[in-house]
Structure 1
C-alpha cells in the first residue's frame, strides 16, 4: 500500500469521525434544548445548564466541521470533554442527585441522552487521538 492511499484512508476516516462527532454533539444539544423547552427551564441551575449545554453543543458541532485540520484534535477533545461532563451530570442526577434535582431513567429521553453522550465521548476521543497522531 502506498503512502498516498494510507493518507487518503486516514483523511477519510478523520472526516467520517468529524461528521459522526458533529451529529452526536448536535443530537445531544437537541435533546437538552427539547427538554429545556418541555419544562426543565424552570428548574434552578439545571434549566440554565441545559440551555448552555444546547448552545455549546451546537457550537462545537459546527466548529468541528469548519476547523482546519491541525486544530481538529483540540476541538474533538473539547467536544469529548463536554459530552463526558454532560454524561457525568446525567449519571449524578440519576444516582445521588445534582443541585437538589434527582432524575429517573424513566424520564423522557433519558436513555437516548445516555447513548448519544456515550457515543459522543467515544467518537470524539478517538478523533482527538487520531488527529494528534496525524500531526506528529
Structure 2
C-alpha cells in the first residue's frame, strides 16, 4: 500500500509564490532597462553603463531567487529588494532633480511601467524576506 504525498504546506506555497513573483518582477525590471539601454540610453554617460549593469544584475538576481537554498533565501530576497529600491530611488531622483547630469521625465518611454515594476518588486521582495525569515513549524 502506498500513501499519497502530503500536500505542500501553506507557508511553502506562499514562499514559492513570492519567489516566482519576485523573480518575474526582477526579470521585468532587467528587461525594461536592457530595452531602454538598446533604444539609446547606452549613449548617456554613467546612465548607459548603469542601465546595462542593472539589466545584468536583475536577470542574475531573478535566477538566484529561484535557485538559492531555503536557508539563504532571506539574504537573496534582501539583495533583490535593495537593488529594486536603489533602482526606484535613482528613477525618482533622475526625474525630480537629475542624476549624473541627466534629467528624466515621466513622459519618457517606459517610465511608468518601470516605476510600477520596481515598486512591485520592492514590495514582493520585502514580503519574501519576512516570510523566509520565519522558522518552519
Q: TM tier, shorter chain?
A: over 0.9
The structure where helix makes up a greater share of residues is 1
Give structure 2 stretches of 5+ with no counterpart.
1-5
Aligned to 2:54: 53
Between the two proteins, the alignment pairs up a number of residues equal to 132
Counterpart-to-counterpart distance in 2, 1:127 and 1:135: 14
Aligned to 1:119: 120
Q: Is the 8 A contact 1:24 1:120 kept in 2?
A: yes
Q: State how 1:92-103 maps to structure 2 within 5 Å.
A: 92-103=93-104
Q: Under a length normalisation based on structure 1, what TM-score does the superposition of the two structures give?
A: 0.94
Could you tell me how far 1:134 is from its partner in structure 2? 2.8
Aligned to 1:129: 130
Encode CA deviations 1:47-104: one digit per residue, 9 max, x unaligned. 0000000000000000000100110110000000000000000000000000000000
Q: State how 1:20-99 maps to structure 2 within 5 Å.
A: 20-99=21-100
Counterpart-to-counterpart distance in 2, 1:87 and 1:134: 30
3-state SS in 1 of match to 2:123: helix
Give structure 1 stretches of 5+ with no counterpart.
none
Larger radius of gyration: 2
Could you tell me how far 1:135 is from its partner in structure 2? 6.0
Counterpart-to-counterpart distance in 1, 2:135 and 2:118: 25
Q: Is the 8 A contact 1:64 1:72 kept in 2?
A: yes
Q: Give the 4+ runs in structure 1 shifted more than 6 A.
A: none
Q: Is the 8 A contact 1:70 1:135 kept in 2?
A: no
Q: Under a length normalisation based on structure 2, what TM-score does the superposition of the two structures give?
A: 0.93
Could you tell me how far 1:125 is from its partner in structure 2? 0.4
Counterpart-to-counterpart distance in 1, 2:125 and 2:136: 16
